[in-house]
């Protein structure tokens, strides 16, 4: 399962409407509109995407297990 960086929805890679590789990382989208939004302004969505990975003390959360499954 992966998180759509645009709308925040958790989706299955196989069900994704689209994907994109940006700066070496692959992102999946629930709908074509989300992919278009990301292409238009990737930095905006990546900031929120990475903020979700950082805990209150500023450390990067160790949630790789969730991302692999």
Write out the residues near Zn ion by the rule CB under 5 A. 4, 6-7, 9, 30, 34
Closest approach of Zn ion to the CB of residue 58, in Å: 27
CB of 64 to Zn ion, least distance (A): 22
The number of angstroms, rounded, from the C-alpha of 41 to the middle of its chain's C-alpha atoms is 13
Nearest CB to Zn ion, comparing residues 32 and 66: 32
Half-sphere exposure of 29 (CA within 13 A, CB side): 18
| Closest CB 7 distance from Zn ion, rounded Å | 3
Q: Where are the alpha helices (DSSP H) in the chain?
A: 32-40, 42-51, 64-68
């Amino acid at each position: 399962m992966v998180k759509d960086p645009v709308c925040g929805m958790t989706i299955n890679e196989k069900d994704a409407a689209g994907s994109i590789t940006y700066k070496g990382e692959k992102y999946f989208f629930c709908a074509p509109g989300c992919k278009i939004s990301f292409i238009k302004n990737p930095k905006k969505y990546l900031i929120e995407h990475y903020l979700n990975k950082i805990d209150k003390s500023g450390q990067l959360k160790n949630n790789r297990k969730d991302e692999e499954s």
